[in-house]
């Protein structure tokens, strides 16, 4: 995850601070007065905290200006890598405000949280499972089995409906990929979270799919889908479980065998 994604997560955690939940209006309505209140609240909390030593407080300082906070929350705060010392100190102070000893400790914490959150799977694990479930669904043709797909896709959304459309289409065509020695495969090469919100996550993947469709009506191969591409997944929470809502990708290397 890059610093911008991590900063978005830090901003969400700050908005969930009990004193902000109880004494501030909903975030989209924040005014300069609210940023000034936030600046004073952070200064007061940092002065009183025992998370860091007096020496560390003196080094970091305990204040963040209302102008800086406003730039952070209005997405006008540059935190490109590598971080300079001033921005590092600002992120350290914000991290201390929400209960971490430093920005580094916050990053470690949220990375662990994303790997383990919920009783089911993390977002990236969900994408990996969704890919395997889609491939398994194609392997099961001519039987159409949806139970595994429904564990990882939202049944009312586009990603799931696209797979269902392909399954019924290939069933009607009598196409399959489970004939003897069929080399069909899929591989998740890389995955990265590119956008984070509390109940929505965007993940960019690099994937390889090779589907060699066999036409059982004529007993020969009819179509090759051979792609290594970049894909976008949008995940949302359904009953506290991450599921795929949208899966977008471009396709242009399909080969018909005639």
CATH 3.10.450.50 at 123-256, yes or no: yes
DSSP annotation of 153 reads B
The pLDDT, as a whole number, for residue 2 is 76
State the average pLDDT over residues 116-134.
81
By CB atoms closer than 10 A (0-12, 13-18, 19+), residue 75 is exposed
What whole-number distance in Å separates Cα of residue 238 and Cα of residue 154?
8
Residue 176 pLDDT greater than 80, yes or no: yes
What is the band of 241 on the pLDDT scale with cuts at 50, 70, 90? confident
What whole-number distance in Å separates Cα of residue 230 and Cα of residue 158?
18
Residues of the chain with CATH 3.10.450.50: 123-256
The pLDDT, as a whole number, for residue 244 is 97
Rg for the chain, CA atoms, rounded:
24
By CB atoms closer than 10 A (0-12, 13-18, 19+), residue 235 is buried
What whole-number distance in Å separates Cα of residue 201 and Cα of residue 198?
8
State the average pLDDT over residues 180-194.
94
> CA angle, 5 as apex, 3 and 8 as ends, to 5°?
110
């Amino acid at each position: 995850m890059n610093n911008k994604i991590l900063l978005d997560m830090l901003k969400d955690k700050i908005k969930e601070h009990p004193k902000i939940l109880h004494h501030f209006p909903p975030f989209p309505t924040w005014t300069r007065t609210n940023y000034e209140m936030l600046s004073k609240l952070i200064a007061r909390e940092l002065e009183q905290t025992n998370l860091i030593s007096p020496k560390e407080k003196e080094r970091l300082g305990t204040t963040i200006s209302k102008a800086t906070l406003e730039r952070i929350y209005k997405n006008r705060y540059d935190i490109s890598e590598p971080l300079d010392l001033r921005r590092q100190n600002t992120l350290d102070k914000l991290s201390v405000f929400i209960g971490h000893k430093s920005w580094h400790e916050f990053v470690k914490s949220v990375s662990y949280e994303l790997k383990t959150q919920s009783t089911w799977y993390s977002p990236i694990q969900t994408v990996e499972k969704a890919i395997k479930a889609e491939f398994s669904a194609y392997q099961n043709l001519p039987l159409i089995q949806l139970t595994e797909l429904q564990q990882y896709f939202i049944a009312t959304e586009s990603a799931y409906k696209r797979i269902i459309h392909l399954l019924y289409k290939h069933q009607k065509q009598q196409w399959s990929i489970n004939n003897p020695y069929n080399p069909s495969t899929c591989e998740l090469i890389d995955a990265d979270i590119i956008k984070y919100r509390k109940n929505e996550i965007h993940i960019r993947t690099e994937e390889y799919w090779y589907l060699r469709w066999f036409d059982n009506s004529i007993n020969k191969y009819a179509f090759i889908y051979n792609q290594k591409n970049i894909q976008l997944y949008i995940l949302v929470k359904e009953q506290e479980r991450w599921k795929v809502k949208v899966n977008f990708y471009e396709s242009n290397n399909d080969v018909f065998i005639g």
